[in-house]
Structure 1
Amino acid sequence: MGLPERPRAVITGAGSGLGRALCLELGRRSGRMVVSDVNEAEARETVRRVGLTGGEAHAVACDVTKPEQVEALALEAERLLGGVDLVVNNAGVATGGEVGRLPLTEWKRVLDVNLWGVIHGCHGFVPLLRRQGGGHVLNIASAAGLMSAPYMGAYCASKAAVVALSETLLAEVQHLGIGVSVVCPMFFRTNIAGGPAPSDDAEAQQLHATAARLVNDARLGPEEIARACLEGVERDEFYIVPMASGRWLWRLKRLSPELFAQGSRLLTKFVRSRTRHARR
């Protein structure tokens, strides 16, 4: 299916990181888009940068955890663009901590944004795509949705659910000419791990700091991931796994789930030892 010459797009969480990078990449393709973010000032900054690329963009504040705001976003996008070729459910947050110790408020925050935000995006925009008879949904998940890791229970659960939702959606709408892709990157440089630790517990704080270092020290940035996303959409790929390391680990899990589980247990021991060493 691919994208038309001047794609009309809606991107959530587009005030920074991957969302902003996707907007800029679409702008270089002369795209027209609605830039959505819970922080309107950051959305407007993305709009300004898109203008420098030659694209056309409109800022709309939207909290993806509020279904009425996402439905209003869909109506506004149809009014501004006359239709939508690409819906990107990108807004997301991260957290880290052990199951049973991570506060339930953190579980709710992560699931509200990462999962319910995507559910609201699909619920609000898929009817529009059905009426149009085409379009593409791009859901941003994570390699953590394919390969669960220790100390990331809430994040992994939310992203695994996004993968499952995307698989279901593809089966339901593919025959209508609607494409669906789910993106599962490994760590890349973004601000998703920014902000305070989810708990005052010293071990939780150390785990949070470790995750932030992994993100900040990653080889790839959001620009490379954005290009991989759009190239995958152009090829009508369902699973978009941009990093070779992620593809190999995913193959290992599918070929030998028990071996992968052993590796996860070893990783747990390694992280715990590093955390205890850092606290001394």
Structure 2
Amino acid sequence: MDVFKDKNVFITGAASGIGRSFALALADLEMNLFITDINMENLENVKKELEEKNVIVYASKCDVCNYKEFEEVSKDFHEKLGDIDLLINNAGIAIVGSIDNIILEDWKKVLDVNLWSIVHSIKAFLPNMLKRGSGHIVNIASGAGIFGSVEPLPYITSKFGVVGLTEALFARLKKRGINVSVIAPTYIKTDIFKLESEKIAYSPKLLDDHKKEKIDEIYREIFEEIMKSAMSPDRAIKKYIRGIKKNQLYIFDVIATSQILAMKGNNPQQYEDFLVMYQKNREELIKKHFLQHGINIEDYIESY
């Protein structure tokens, strides 16, 4: 997709983070925007920011887990803007916890928001693209969809699913004039792991022995240390837009992600060692922060 001016874009999860930054950057390219999120208060604030750029913008609440809502909002999009040129599936959540403590409902919620939402979006918008033989679908995955280590299991599972779905769509839709890309962000300063908005699946025994407020504080310290080197969404978006312009299948924000992807095929043993090492380093970080508060986390969690 090399022309953005006066084209129409639909973005999910646009109230903050990558979605908001995408909307602002595409407004600068003079696109017409239709932004959605479940958080209408924040979404309206983003809408006001966009309106200051003198672009056409609509905002609507959409629970991406509910296909009927997606159908309605897609109809609204077509009525207001017409054809869809760029579809950005960005909505996502994370529920943090160990293998032992994440319950099935948590698995379902993460898969619904991170993976099924994209299925809903494609089902709703792809017919218009197929009819015209043009358009570009951009699915936001994660570095956690490239290498399966460190991040919470449901999150990793959902993001690997997004990567696989995107590859399959790319292979099937290219000949029909539709471009498909997957973006695999590394650590970006967003709300995806924000304690106030997302859930941590704590060990029941840990909560029996220690106050939840204290555990929240420790995890907040851990997240803050992890995010020290995180990239700003605005900086990352510039890289993502360059990839969209080039119609790339894979779009990364750091070269290390492509190197890890290559390592899988070129040196499987090195990749296996990397997974184990990366996981060990994260576990050591968690242990360190808990020990600073006088808690041996290994007394409560066997598997991270």
Same fold by TM (over 0.5)?
A: yes
Match of 1:42 in 2: 42
Match of 1:30 in 2: 30
Pairs within 5 Å for 1:92-107: 92-107=92-107
Match of 2:200 in 1: 198
Match of 1:159 in 2: 159
TM superposition shift of 1:166: 0.7
Q: How far apart in 2 are the matches of 1:273 and 1:10?
A: 41
Shifted more, 30-39 versus 211-220: the winner is 211-220
CA deviation vs aligned residue, 1:251-278 (integer Å, no higher than 9, x gap): 2233212211112212333332332332
TM superposition shift of 1:206: 8.4
CA deviation vs aligned residue, 1:171-228 (integer Å, no higher than 9, x gap): 2211111110000111111111102542232499689546622563234111122222
Match of 1:254 in 2: 265
SS of the aligned residue for 1:53 comes to coil
TM superposition shift of 1:132: 2.3
Work out whether residues 145 and 156 of structure 1, in 8 Å CA contact, stay in contact via their aligned partners in 2. Answer: yes
Q: How far apart in 2 are the matches of 1:24 and 1:90?
A: 14
Match of 1:142 in 2: 142
Q: How far apart in 1 are the matches of 2:26 and 2:279?
A: 40
Work out whether residues 64 and 70 of structure 1, in 8 Å CA contact, stay in contact via their aligned partners in 2. Answer: yes
TM superposition shift of 1:38: 0.8
Match of 1:85 in 2: 85
In structure 2, the gaps of 5 or more residues are 208-214, 292-304
TM superposition shift of 1:34: 0.4
Partner amino acid for 1:170? F
Q: How far apart in 2 are the matches of 1:133 and 1:89?
A: 20
Give yes or no for the alignment of 1:263 onto 2:265. Answer: no
TM-score norm. by structure 1 comes to 0.92
CA deviation vs aligned residue, 1:101-152 (integer Å, no higher than 9, x gap): 3222221111110011111111111111112221110000011101111352
Match of 2:247 in 1: 236
Partner amino acid for 2:239? A
TM superposition shift of 1:45: 1.1
Q: How far apart in 2 are the matches of 1:86 and 1:173?
A: 14
CA deviation vs aligned residue, 1:13-70 (integer Å, no higher than 9, x gap): 0011100100000110111010111112222111111112232210111010000111
TM superposition shift of 1:73: 1.5
Shifted more, 44-53 versus 242-251: the winner is 242-251
Task: Give the alignment's Cα RMSD to 1 decimal.
Answer: 2.1
Match of 2:73 in 1: 73
Pairs within 5 Å for 1:102-181: 102-181=102-181
Match of 2:6 in 1: 6
TM-score norm. by structure 2 comes to 0.86
What is the aligned length? 280
Distance 1:135 1:224, change over 3 A: same
Work out whether residues 86 and 136 of structure 1, in 8 Å CA contact, stay in contact via their aligned partners in 2. Answer: yes
Work out whether residues 4 and 29 of structure 2, in 8 Å CA contact, stay in contact via their aligned partners in 1. Answer: no
Match of 1:224 in 2: 235
TM superposition shift of 1:98: 2.7
Specify the structure having the higher radius of gyration (Cα). Answer: 2
Distance 1:207 1:86, change over 3 A: farther
